[in-house]
Structure formats: structure tokens, C-alpha cells
A = this chain, B = another copy of it.
Amino acid sequence: MDAWFGIDIGGTSVKTALVDNVGHILVSQSFDTGAERDAETVAVRIKDTLELLKARLKDGGSTCQVHGAGVGIPGFLDLDTGIVAEAVNLGWTDVPFQSMLEQLLQLPVAMENDANLAALGEAFAGAGADRRVVLCATVGTGIGGGIVIDGRLHRGVNGMAGEIGHLVVKRDGGILCNCGHHGCLETVASATAIVRQAQALQSAGKLPADKVVTEAKDVFDLAERGNEAALSVITDAANWLGYGLSLAAITLNPDVIVIGGGVSRAEERFLMPMQAAFEQYALERVAQAAEVRAATLSNDAGVIGAARLAQQRVSSNA
């Protein structure tokens, strides 16, 4: 059986999987990124995990031929040279990771930004599988994004395409974002923004103080219990996200917008007001064409996207 090795490197864990030609995971294994997170150590552990995965498949009575590997990295990459220019969460600067991994694995390796690969995964085998122009947004600590057109990643000229978390939606003022600008979408619509707003209300005595809000789930739980202030915090964030998506959708004219991350599971509380705001601000023909869907691959989107990228690089007709 043909297989592709998908790798998704994060600040907390490294997810890996062997994936078949149609995006099904055959076998998977994660390991903690750990304190020893220099590139060489991570690369060796990835190689060991590949051996483990192949052995496990074999034990299960399957054999596979691994044709290539794809790796998602949270950072800025120079794809021409295969160098990780900067990956803050990993502490990597100017690391020639692609050649390092190719030498160890003895496989062709394709490298890409992790948010882009999650988008490719959802477009290939998830919520965007049957669509032509796919815009993905992952709402978590920040808001990441990616674009897939006719099955191919649209990364833009330096990998920044779809970075919709940094659309400046509050033009006058707004909170300072990690990127250095004020008023970015992720300062008002991310899980972090929901927590910040709720904490402010809690300090002002407008939210129950029996449990300190530390994550977005706490705010969703309060809303579930009927707390109006918590609900308005969620609705506000959803409104901003819908507005931001309208800006991206008018530019791109997608047929599907895939929302990932924790908030995407809160259909009624979050996705419904988000969709309403999207329709309010998008051109009618743009809104009509774009269906909003929750992501379906969850944490597997990255490894599936990585495997798909490897497949596209090796098989020119994939």
C-alpha cells in the first residue's frame, strides 16, 4: 500500500501519522516536544517514530511503501532553501530542517507552515473536501488561516496568505497584537480575546466570581448556565469573526469557509452569530456562494495536510 508520512510539529507535541492516498490515517503517534527541542533531537525522534509506525503497521498485518514526508512547522519558512527562518515556539532560527530530515528519513521531504497544512488537510479530506476554493480559519489562542484553491495550497508569495488573524478590523485604536499592530482580528475574536473580555467583566463584578475565568470554555459554560454577560462576550467575538471573514471572502470568493479550533464546536452559541455577521457584511453573491462549516478533522488536520503535501510534491498528478 502507498503511504505518506505526515508530521505536525507544535510547541507542545509533535504529531505524526502514516496516511494513505485518500487522506485516511493508517497509524499515528504523538510525542511531547519536550525541553530538548533543538532541531537535531526532534528530527531523530521523528525518524524513530517513523520506524515505530511502520513496525506497528507490519504487526497489524499490513505493509506499506512510504514515498515521502511532509512536515508542518509553526513559523516562517524559506521554502526555496528548505530553511526554517524563525520558529519562536521551538526556539529555531535559520535551521536547514528540510535537508536534515531528508538525510535521516531517506525520503523526499516537503515543508510548510502548520496553519497552511491544517487548511490543506481540511480541504483534502475534511470539511472542504468537495469544494474548489477553501478558506480555513482556526480560532484558538490566536486566529490562523489558510487557503486552498483547486486542491492546491495558495501560500502567497512568502507564505503569509490567509493570515486573517491580522486583518486590522479596529482601524482606530484597538488592543496591541503580537504582530505589532493594533486592532487585529485576533485581538477581538480569538479564544484569548474571549477570556480577556470575560476577565474584565469579572473584575467589574458583572460575571459570577465563584470560578476565575482562565479559558474560553469557562465563558461558554457560564453562557450555558444562562449568564447574559458571558453570552454577550461570545456573541461579540463571533460578530467580529464574521466581519473579518467577510473581508477575506470578498477578496477570495470561496465556496466554503471552514472554522476550526475549540470555538467551532459551539455551533449555536458561536457559529450562528458568526454566520449572521458574515452575511451582514459580505456581498450578497459572495455570502450565497460560501457555506460556513465546522472543521471535521480536529487535531488530525495537520498530519493529513502534511501527508497530502508530500503526495503532491512526489506525484505530480496528485
Contact = CB atoms under 8 A, between A and B. Distances in A.
Interface stretch (A48-56, A93-101, A158-166): A158-166
A1 interface: no
Given A157-B132, A255-B157, A163 B250 contact: yes
B253 A157 contact: yes
Given A133-B156, A163-B286, A285-B160, A247 B251 contact: yes
A167 B245 CA distance: 11
Interface string A237-254: 000000100111011111
A154 interface: yes
A288 B76 CA distance: 14
Contact of A76 (B76, B133, B285, B286): B285
A171 B251 contact: no
Copies of this chain, how many? 2
B133 A164 contact: no
A206 interface: no
A251 B251 contact: yes
Interface in A167-203: 167-169, 171, 179-181
Nearest to A156: B253
Interface string A246-267: 1110111111000000000000
B246 A285 contact: no
B159 A253 contact: yes
A220 to B, nearest CB: 25
Most chain B CB within a 10 A radius of its CB, from A155, A179, A247: A247
Given A247-B167, A285-B76, A133 B157 contact: yes
